[in-house]
Amino acid sequence: MRRVLALLGLPLLMMMAGCARPGTEPTGPGIPNDRHEAFEQRATAVAQAWRPGAAWATGYVPLEEPTVLVGEPAFTEETKLAFHAGWYRQQVPLPPGTPADGTVRFPDGELRVPLVSAAEAYRQVDQGDPPPCPGRPKDPGTPPPANPPDGPDAPVSSGPQAACIPLTVTGVELGAAPVRTSRGEAHVPAWLFTVEEIDAVVARLAVAPDAVGDLPDPVEPSAPAPQDLVSAQDVESADGTTLNFRLGVGSCDTGITPLVQEHDHVVVVGGTVVRSTGVCDDMLRLEPVTVTLRAPLADRPVLDVVSATPLRFTVG
């Protein structure tokens, strides 16, 4: 059975159209039929071309980045920046040597896989020290200068204050983390790093690279994507029938409208925009959007309508 879904019900579309910013095209019934139909046609072609290889159903193909959070981190602005930048400070010995093979546990079975050492996992997580920030200590427990210099000779920092805060690793153990994969949510061996500044555990998936399957190469439809279609960049979360993802739009694009088409085996997402006719920069802006599915996402992959690429889930 095939399900095809336009993004929003009529009442909500009408409400959004009434709240559109001045100078933008309404995001509801005002969408020209040809633009909407262009999405439907291309999404259908993308879904029909989806032919993943054998590893999709039998191997380990993660749909998340290899560093995930276990628990709610309760980020501050500073700690969130440090997590995404990979700024860590190790204050605990790392277990030596490479552990024995581990087991990835899928809803439909198990898979034995080689693992990497804690030292290698930490090396992959740690992206270096944060840049210096005058007046803020880099070492935990070190007080800032009592009388920081001021005036024309005072040091100047062009970065945010948050750049001075690394995350302090105070514990490490081999465990498992829940990860979205091509075979549904799996429990995957991971090195679990206890971090002093946040409430969640930072988990680095411990599966050796040669046991990690690649995402299938996209098979794009033969016709080029229409100009007014924009790509989905990643998926932020899926909760029941609510799917949150980010569109890559131009700085001056307006009338941003996310769209979705559902099938039993795949979900295709993307969006339409109204392009600016004036002078504008070429900056890509990530626009968070939400769509409602007819059924929970479950283990269906989410494909971008423009590139036909399977989308990964982001963390944090």
More confident residue, 5 or 258: 258
Statement: residue 70 has pLDDT above 90: yes
Contacts made by residues 285-288, CB under 8 angstroms, sequence distance 24+: 285/248, 285/249, 285/250, 285/251, 285/253, 286/233, 286/246, 286/247, 286/248, 286/249, 287/246, 287/247, 287/248, 287/249, 287/256, 288/236, 288/244, 288/245, 288/246
Burial class (CB in 10 A: 0-12, 13-18, 19+), 233: buried
- Residue range 180-218, pLDDT digits in tens: 999 999 999 999 999 999 999 999 999 999 999 988 888
- Residue range 284-314, pLDDT digits in tens: 899 999 999 999 998 899 999 999 999 999 8
At position 242, the amino acid (one-letter code) is T
SS3 letters for 187-239?
Answer: EEEEEEEEECCCCCEEEEECECHHHCCCCCCCCCCCCCCCCCEECEEEEEEEE
- Residue range 78-131, pLDDT digits in tens: 999 999 999 999 999 999 899 999 999 999 999 999 999 999 999 999 998 887
- The band of 221, judged by pLDDT with boundaries at 50, 70 and 90, is confident
Q: What's the distance, CA 137 to chain centroid?
A: 31
**Contact residues for 234 (Cβ-Cβ < 8 A; gap 6+):** 245, 246, 311, 312, 313, 314
How does strand 102-106 pair with strand 109-113? antiparallel
- Residue range 134-169, pLDDT digits in tens: 544 444 444 444 444 444 444 343 444 445 789 999
> Tokens for 65?
């980045």
Q: How far is CA 299 from CA 161, 239, 255, in A?
A: 41, 13, 31
Please tell me the distance from the alpha carbon of residue 269 to that of residue 223, in angstroms, as a whole number.
18
- The band of 17, judged by pLDDT with boundaries at 50, 70 and 90, is very low
Q: What is the pTM of this model?
A: 0.74
Please tell me the distance from the alpha carbon of residue 123 to that of residue 169, in angstroms, as a whole number.
13
